[in-house]
């Protein structure tokens, strides 16, 4: 890698880790109900008013079954409301472009997508959704779905921290406090910053402006004007990045200058993608009373991400050997950046594009500032692998960390088998029930991804809209179901997915991926909360040491490799060999 690449990556991770600790400490105090340095005096009245209006008894806690039912009820109502909003948008106000109702299959897919924190988009935002749908539907769900994931995490952490307890918190309180004390303040500040960088925020309709230089279209007809799509973008972009949602206001997502105007906005949006997932590791350490545990998990995430980021950068900077064989100079120089610039914004370059691609797929964010379909085979392999690690390498807000902690339990269980001792974690015995629930969490995602991919490649509806043949076409289908089966939302593109087949199967994959994982996690939380603490002894495995970090990384890599290596061999790996051999 170049010095410039190392400098960009170094500054990014230094800023990320520096901000993670204070934010993580603050969020721990939010979930523990402790004083918030004056913030609670400002927002506390609003919180109490919300409880009175909704009839929530904040002091009453819930067992894991009730907590889970509340999560499912809230999400079900959200899906129905968002679906109805899309189907009725043609007769609702704040629709200056007079967009008609969204088709039933697309509305179903989008409703499930945004409620499950996936934000997969089979449509173009600026040509499909009215301002009202964008604000009242999509932006609201960006807050709600992120807060729901963080609420489940808070409940899981209480299960780890409590002893002989029958409750793990109150879902409605956790949801309210997450939105009011964490997501809203951060999003307000970030949206104002984005506006200062040129991200649009208006209720105005699209504007037609004259071109500075006239041109012609593909048929040779003169083109003298351009339509500039406008709307309330900054408010949605802020929460889409902070909440690891990722859905773009515009079809080009963060490659669009009205969503991501400058290199500075690009840097801070990348920072926002991983900020809350990183900070929640610190929150975890604080809430369980051992900050070393949070630092160990954060170290495992970072040490797994860095080599994959390096691979993506090197692969993209190396360019395409097919060009070299044609005598095309792809080396960096005064007149060109070099490497593989296909599908990338010239104002961001290769390193920033590769860093964004790895960050957005390490988290369940899914926003893009470059076209992943145009990456080299190994460059495109990296986002695939990061998602196939079950979105545990940082992951989505809340769901990423509780997914990682499930792998911690698996690693502890494996270590216990090695020494012939009942595994323990944070003073709690990990027994058969916890491992059965953990097995569900680990196995559901590969089942959804591989079965969905197999169904698509073996059926005519699944291949009808495929734009590329061979290994690359297979990678596009595998990427689509990997993204939806991990609640990521990014796309390889090159595959037409806004049709009944992909909208229906993808919606089911996103629904199961979100809730079939969250419910077993809550079940584990309820089980652990009831257990008593077991004093540490000579045979207790320390879970904050470098040795355990290596064991945890090995467990994640081993599960991911054994599950997905055959599929990857049919896609990006064989495509890389074909490209290299020519």
Give the integer Cα–Cα distance in Å for 508 and 570.
25
Query: Can you tell me the mean pLDDT for 327-356?
Result: 85
Is pLDDT at 508 greater than 90 in this prediction?
yes
Question: Over the range 339-367, which residues count as b (16 or more CB within 10 Å of their CB) and which as e?
Answer: bbbeebbeebbbbbbbbbbbbbbbbbbbb
Is pLDDT at 582 greater than 70 in this prediction?
no
Contacts of 132 (CB under 8 A, 6+ apart): 85, 89, 92, 93, 94, 95
The pLDDT tens digits for 522-541 are: 999 999 999 999 888 777 88
The Cβ-side half-sphere exposure at 570, using a 13 Å CA radius, reads: 16
Is pLDDT at 335 greater than 70 in this prediction?
no
**How far out from the chain centre does Cα 347 lie?**
24
3-class DSSP assignment, residue 63 = coil
The pLDDT tens digits for 344-400 are: 998 899 999 999 999 999 999 999 999 999 999 999 999 999 999 988 999 999 999
Confidence bin at 334 (pLDDT 50/70/90): low
Is pLDDT at 337 greater than 90 in this prediction?
no
Longest dimension (CA), the chain: 81
**Angle 399-419/140-161 helices, nearest 10 degrees?**
30
Tokens of 483: 């993204």
Confidence bin at 580 (pLDDT 50/70/90): confident
What is the predicted pLDDT for the residue at 177? 97
| CA distance to 1, 292, 334, 470, per residue, from 323 (Å) | 20, 49, 19, 20
Is pLDDT at 547 greater than 80 in this prediction?
yes
User: What DSSP designation does 573 have?
Assistant: I
What is the predicted pLDDT for the residue at 214? 86
Tokens of 205: 């309709």
Integer distance in angstroms from the first to the last C-alpha of the chain?
25
Is pLDDT at 546 greater than 80 in this prediction?
yes
Give the integer Cα–Cα distance in Å for 3 and 123.
39
What is the predicted pLDDT for the residue at 382? 96
> CB atoms < 10 A from the CB of 50, how many?
15
Confidence bin at 128 (pLDDT 50/70/90): very high
Tokens of 414: 């494996």
What is the predicted pLDDT for the residue at 420? 79
% of the chain surpassing 70 pLDDT: 99
> CB atoms < 10 A from the CB of 377, how many?
21
H/E segment holding residue 556: helix 546-568
Confidence bin at 157 (pLDDT 50/70/90): very high
Is pLDDT at 141 greater than 90 in this prediction?
yes
What is the predicted pLDDT for the residue at 323? 79
119-123, 332-336, 433-437, 545-549, range with the lowest pLDDT:
332-336
Average pLDDT, the chain: 94
What is the predicted pLDDT for the residue at 329? 75
Confidence bin at 3 (pLDDT 50/70/90): confident
Is pLDDT at 288 greater than 70 in this prediction?
yes
1-10, 80-89, 331-340, 503-512, range with the lowest pLDDT:
331-340
What is the predicted pLDDT for the residue at 570? 94
Is pLDDT at 2 greater than 90 in this prediction?
no
CB 424 within 8 A of CB 430: yes
Tokens of 376: 């080299």
């Amino acid at each position: 890698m170049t010095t410039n690449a190392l400098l960009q990556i170094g500054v990014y991770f230094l800023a990320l880790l520096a901000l993670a600790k204070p934010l993580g400490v603050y969020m721990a105090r939010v979930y523990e109900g402790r004083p918030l340095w004056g913030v609670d005096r400002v927002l506390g009245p609003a919180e109490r008013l919300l409880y009175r209006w909704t009839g929530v008894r904040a002091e009453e806690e819930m067992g894991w079954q009730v907590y889970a039912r509340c999560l499912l009820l809230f999400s079900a109502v959200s899906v129905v409301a968002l679906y109805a909003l899309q189907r009725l948008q043609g007769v609702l106000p704040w629709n200056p472009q007079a967009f008609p109702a969204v088709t039933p299959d697309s509305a179903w897919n989008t409703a499930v997508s945004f409620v499950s924190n996936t934000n997969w988009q089979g449509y173009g935002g600026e040509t499909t959704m009215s301002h009202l749908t964008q604000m009242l539907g999509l932006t609201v769900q960006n807050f709600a779905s992120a807060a729901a994931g963080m609420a489940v995490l808070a409940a899981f952490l209480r299960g780890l921290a409590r002893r002989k307890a029958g409750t793990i918190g109150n879902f409605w309180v956790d949801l309210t406090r997450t939105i009011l004390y964490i997501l809203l303040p951060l999003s307000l500040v970030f949206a104002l910053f984005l506006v200062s960088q040129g991200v649009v925020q208006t209720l105005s309709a699209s504007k037609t402006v004259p071109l500075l230089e006239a041109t012609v279209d593909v048929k040779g007809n003169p083109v003298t004007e351009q339509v500039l799509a406008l709307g309330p973008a900054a408010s949605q972009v802020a929460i889409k990045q902070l909440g690891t949602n990722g859905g773009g206001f515009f079809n080009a997502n963060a490659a669009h200058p009205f969503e991501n105007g400058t290199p500075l906005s690009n840097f801070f949006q990348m920072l926002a993608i991983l900020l809350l997932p990183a900070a929640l590791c610190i929150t975890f350490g604080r809430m369980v009373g051992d900050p070393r545990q949070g630092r160990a998990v954060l170290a495992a995430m970072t040490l797994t991400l860095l080599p994959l980021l390096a691979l993506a950068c090197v692969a993209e900077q190396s360019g395409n050997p097919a060009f070299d064989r044609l005598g095309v100079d792809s080396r960096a120089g005064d007149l060109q950046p070099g490497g593989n610039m296909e599908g990338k914004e010239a104002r961001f370059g290769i390193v920033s594009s590769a860093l964004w691609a790895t960050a957005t797929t390490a988290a369940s964010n899914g926003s893009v500032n470059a076209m992943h379909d145009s990456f080299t085979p190994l460059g495109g392999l990296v986002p695939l692998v990061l998602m196939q690690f079950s979105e545990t390498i940082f992951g989505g807000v809340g769901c990423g960390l509780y997914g990682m902690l499930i792998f911690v339990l698996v690693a502890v269980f494996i270590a216990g088998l090695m020494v012939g001792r009942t595994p323990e974690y944070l003073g709690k015995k990990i027994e058969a029930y916890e491992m059965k629930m953990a097995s569900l969490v680990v196995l559901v995602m590969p089942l959804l991804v591989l079965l969905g991919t197999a169904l698509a490649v073996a059926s005519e509806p699944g291949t009808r809209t495929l734009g590329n043949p061979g290994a690359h076409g297979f990678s596009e289908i595998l990427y689509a179901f990997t993204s939806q089966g991990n609640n990521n939302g990014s796309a390889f593109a090159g595959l037409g997915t806004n049709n009944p087949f992909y909208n229906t199967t993808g919606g089911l994959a996103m629904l199961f991926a979100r809730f079939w994982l969250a419910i077993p996690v809550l079940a584990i939380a309820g089980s652990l909360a009831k257990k008593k603490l077991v004093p540490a002894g000579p045979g207790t495995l320390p879970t904050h040491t470098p040795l355990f970090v290596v064991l945890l990384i090995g467990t994640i890599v081993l599960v991911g490799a054994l599950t997905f290596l055959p599929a990857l061999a049919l896609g990006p790996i064989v495509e890389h060999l074909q490209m290299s051999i020519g």
